[in-house]
Amino acid sequence: MGYSANQLRDLSSLFSRSEALRWFKNDFSSIDIKLQRYNKYDSFKGKSYLEVLKKAYKTVEKSYPNEYVLKNEFLHKWLLKELGQTDSVVYNELRIGKAVADLAMFNGISKVFEIKTILDKETRLSRQLLEYKKIFNEVYLIVPICQLEKYAAFDNTVGIITYESNSKQFHLYRKAIYCNEADIDVVMNVLHTKEYLKIIQQNFTEKPVMNAFTQFEICKKMLSTLSSNDLNKVLIECLKKRQINNAFLNKSNYQFNQIFLSLNLSEKQRDNLILNLKTNLV
């Protein structure tokens, strides 16, 4: 039996942060409900929830390529190669000013990736790109190849990565133009208090007199005196030092890489989650 659009949307909801948190508690009731709703429960008896979810992922990936699938496939097929060769750190949904970046990568340079599905509108795109260019060295759009012409003409400084809707293969169409003119207001909003205080301590001989009420503005003024290269460097160093677990590099269970990243799971937590999912349906 095939699935309708509503059923596919229902299945895709299994791959979310809230669902994954239930799996940690061995709560698979949501999966059970969906299998029973579509008369699939009996056909999966004796099999594990891990098998059920992998089958669901394959179904959604083939017939309902939503943002989770696209982001997950991009992690698996594109970013994994970069992460395996560098000391890169990847962030999921990093807030930048008034926008939230789908994926952000920091190594020697900073890159942001904004994913657009065939159903997405570009009404907010100009504002998103404007925010991203205030802090990232390279900005990329990941777009369906059938909409390449529309997005390629949007902003010629932005890199373009296309994907095939069926094969989910990604191709670099245009490299982003490099920029390191970071906006100090955005930098200060991204940095944590302890981070910008440490930058001041390490990069300035002057020890300013400040308190909890004045430190933000004083540090902002001092950081604004750094060269563009130095400001870019300290920002990347700070973001790479945060406790971000990129333990989603899992080829055998790649279907959950985006969940691992979204929940910032350690390798042990990831392994425990997969172990729980090996519970069989009865």
pLDDT of residue 85: 57
pLDDT of residue 1: 47
In three-state secondary structure terms, 105 is: strand
Nearest to 94 by CA among 269, 246, 262: 262
Domains and CATH numbers, the chain: 5-64+254-277 (no CATH), 69-174 (3.40.1350), 184-241 (no CATH)
Side chain identity, residue 152:
A
Q: 144: how many CB neighbours lie within 10 A of its CB?
A: 19
Location of structure tokens 């971000």? 244
Average pLDDT along the chain, 282 residues, taken 10 residues at a time: 79 94 96 92 94 94 87 88 73 89 92 89 87 96 94 93 88 96 94 96 91 96 95 94 75 90 91 96 92
pTM: 0.90
- Tell me the C-alpha distance between 25 and 136, whole Å: 38
